[in-house]
C-alpha cells in the first residue's frame, strides 16, 4: 500500500512519486467540483481523468433514474473496443451489479463477469462478446440528497485482469470527493448568510421593530376612536384596518428574519422524546389544521429512543414544517387534504417523514433563505427548518417529489 497524507475532505492523497498522477487527477476533479457543484460537474472530464490515472482503456458514467427504472450512459472514454452508447437507456432490472450498488450505496467489483448471473445484463453481455473483458468495477456517486445519482463503470480488459486495492481505493476517493465537496460548499455558503444576517439583525430590530410597534399602537387606538365617533365613515375604518394588517405582516417578517439570524447560537442540548415533541406541536396547531380543513395522520413506531437535542430549536423547525404543509397542500383528485407523519427508526437513526399532496417548486432552492413562491412569504420558514435540524451533528433534512406528494425526510443519528 502506498504512503499517503490527508487531502481535501479527509481524502487520502498519495505522495509516492509513482502515484503523483493519481494525486493530480484527484486535485483536478476536486477543483472542478468546488467550482461547479454537483449539478455542474463535467462528467466527461471525470471519465478522462480516471482513464489517465488508472492507465486503463475504458470508463463510462451512467446516470441513474430510479423512478423510471433505467440508467443511461452520459459520459465515457473508450480507447479500444466499441464506443460507449452514450444517451442510450437500459433497464436497471437487467443489470444485477447496478441493482446491488443502488441497494447498498457501495462499490461492486465483478470479477466473475463471464458467469450466467452477470451476462443477463445486456450492456455487459455485449462487452464480453466484443472484447476480452475480465472484470468491471461499479462505483456509486451520491447526489445532494444522499441518493445514487451516477455510477462510474470501469472495465479491466485483456492483460489487466482486475483492479487492485490501491486502484479501488483511489476510485472510491474520487467518488467521495464528488460526494462531499458540493455539500461542504453549500454549508459554507449557508454559514456565510447566517453570519451576514447576524451582523445586521440588531440594527434591523432597533430601526424597524420600534417604529412598527408605535405605528401599530396608534393605528389600533385610531380605529377604536373612529368606530365610536365615525360610524358612517367606512373608508376611514377600512384604511386603518389595512394599516394594522400591514403592521402585523411586517412584524411577522421581522420575527422570521431575527429567528433565522439566531441560528448561529450554540445548541442547548437536553434529552428529548421526538415523538412526543411532534405530537405536542400538532396539538398546538390543531386549530390551524381545522381552519384549513386538513386531516392529520400520525404513525409512530414503538420504542423511539430519547435523543440529545435542542428542544426549542426543533419546536421552531417542526412548527414551520407543519405549517408549511398546511399552507401549500394541494389536494389530489380525491379532494382529501391530508398531512401524513411517520416517526420510526431507520437502522442507527431516528427517521421522521412528513408528506402532503403538492408540488415542490424547485427542489434545489426550497431550503434556501429568501426563496418563496408565496406573495405574502419571506422565504425563511424552511431555511430555519434546515438550519435548526442540521445544526445537530449528523442530522439531515431532505425534500423530494414522490408522485403527487411532497415528502420531507428528517433523520437524527442515535447516540453512540
Q: Which helix (H) or strand (E) holds 141?
A: strand 133-142
The answer, yes or no, to whether residue 33 has pLDDT greater than 60, is no
Q: Do the strands 396-402 and 405-413 form a parallel or antiparallel pair, or are they unpaired? A: antiparallel
Right CATH number for 4-186 from 3.40.190.80, 3.30.70.260, 3.40.50.800, 3.30.450.40?
A: 3.30.450.40
Predicted confidence at residue 256, as pLDDT, reads: 67
Phi and psi, residue 65, nearest 5°: -120, 90
Sign of the dihedral defined by the CA atoms of residues 362, 394, 106, 21, in that order: positive
- Residue 149, helix vs strand vs coil: strand
The domain spans of the chain are 4-186, 266-416
β-bridge partners, 355: 340, 407
Between CA 47 and CA 28 the distance in angstroms is 12
pTM across the whole model = 0.49
Q: What pLDDT score was predicted for residue 23?
A: 56
- Among the residue ranges 197-201, 254-258, 354-358, 372-376, the one predicted with the least confidence is 197-201
Reply yes or no on whether the pLDDT at 9 is more than 60.
no
C-alpha cell at 110: 465483478
Residue 15 pLDDT greater than 70, yes or no: no
pLDDT for 195 equals 62
pLDDT band at 242 (very low <50, low <70, confident <90, very high): confident
Percent of the chain at pLDDT > 90 equals 11
CATH 3.40.1390.20 fits 266-416, yes or no: no
Same fold, 4-186 and 266-416: no
Identify the burial level of 109 via C-beta atoms within 10 angstroms of its C-beta, where 0-12 means exposed, 13-18 middle and 19 or more buried.
Answer: middle
For 68-127, write each residue's pLDDT tens digit.
788 888 888 888 777 777 888 888 888 888 888 888 888 888 876 665 455 555 556 666
Three cell numbers, residue 8: 481535501
Amino acid at each position: 500500500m502506498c504512503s499517503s497524507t490527508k487531502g481535501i475532505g479527509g481524502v487520502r492523497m498519495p505522495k509516492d512519486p509513482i502515484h503523483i498522477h493519481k494525486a493530480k487527477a484527484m486535485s483536478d476533479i476536486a477543483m472542478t467540483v468546488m467550482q461547479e457543484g454537483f449539478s455542474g460537474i463535467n462528467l466527461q472530464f471525470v471519465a478522462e481523468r480516471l482513464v489517465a490515472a488508472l492507465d486503463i482503456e475504458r470508463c463510462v458514467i451512467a446516470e441513474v433514474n430510479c423512478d423510471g427504472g433505467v440508467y443511461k450512459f452520459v459520459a465515457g472514454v473508450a480507447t479500444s473496443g466499441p464506443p460507449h452508447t452514450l444517451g442510450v437507456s437500459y433497464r436497471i432490472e437487467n443489470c444485477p451489479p447496478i441493482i446491488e450498488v443502488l441497494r447498498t450505496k457501495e462499490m461492486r467489483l465483478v470479477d466473475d463477469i463471464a458467469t450466467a448471473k452477470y451476462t443477463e445484463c445486456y450492456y455487459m453481455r455485449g462487452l464480453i462478446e466484443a472484447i476480452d473483458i475480465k472484470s468491471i468495477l461499479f462505483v456509486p456517486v451520491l447526489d445532494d440528497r444522499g441518493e445514487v445519482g451516477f455510477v462510474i463503470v470501469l472495465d479491466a480488459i485483456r492483460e489487466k485482469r482486475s483492479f487492485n486495492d490501491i486502484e479501488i481505493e483511489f476510485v472510491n476517493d474520487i467518488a467521495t470527493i464528488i460526494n462531499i465537496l458540493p455539500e461542504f460548499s453549500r454549508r459554507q455558503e449557508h454559514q456565510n448568510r447566517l453570519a451576514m444576517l447576524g451582523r445586521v439583525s440588531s440594527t434591523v430590530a432597533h430601526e424597524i421593530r420600534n417604529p412598527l410597534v408605535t405605528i401599530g399602537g396608534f393605528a389600533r387606538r385610531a380605529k377604536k376612536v373612529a368606530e365610536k365617533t365615525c360610524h358612517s365613515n367606512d373608508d376611514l375604518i377600512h384604511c386603518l384596518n389595512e394599516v394594522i394588517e400591514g403592521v402585523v405582516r411586517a412584524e411577522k417578517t421581522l420575527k422570521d428574519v431575527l429567528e433565522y439570524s439566531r441560528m448561529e447560537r450554540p445548541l442547548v442540548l437536553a434529552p428529548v422524546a421526538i415523538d412526543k415533541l411532534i405530537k405536542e406541536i400538532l396539538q398546538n396547531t390543531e386549530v390551524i389544521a381545522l381552519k384549513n380543513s386538513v386531516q392529520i395522520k400520525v404513525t409512530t413506531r414503538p420504542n423511539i429512543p430519547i435523543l440529545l437535542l435542542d428542544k426549542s430549536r426543533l419546536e421552531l423547525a417542526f412548527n414551520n414544517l407543519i405549517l408549511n404543509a398546511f399552507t401549500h397542500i394541494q389536494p389530489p383528485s380525491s379532494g382529501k387534504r391530508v398531512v401524513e407523519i411517520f416517526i420510526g427508526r431507520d437502522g442507527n437513526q431516528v427517521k421522521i417523514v412528513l408528506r402532503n399532496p403538492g408540488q415542490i417548486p424547485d427542489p434545489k432552492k426550497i431550503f434556501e433563505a429568501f426563496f418563496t413562491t408565496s406573495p405574502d412569504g419571506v422565504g425563511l420558514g424552511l431555511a430555519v427548518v434546515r438550519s435548526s435540524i442540521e445544526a445537530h451533528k449528523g442530522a439531515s433534512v431532505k425534500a423530494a417529489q414522490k408522485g403527487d406528494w411532497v415528502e420531507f425526510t428528517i433523520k437524527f443519528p442515535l447516540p453512540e
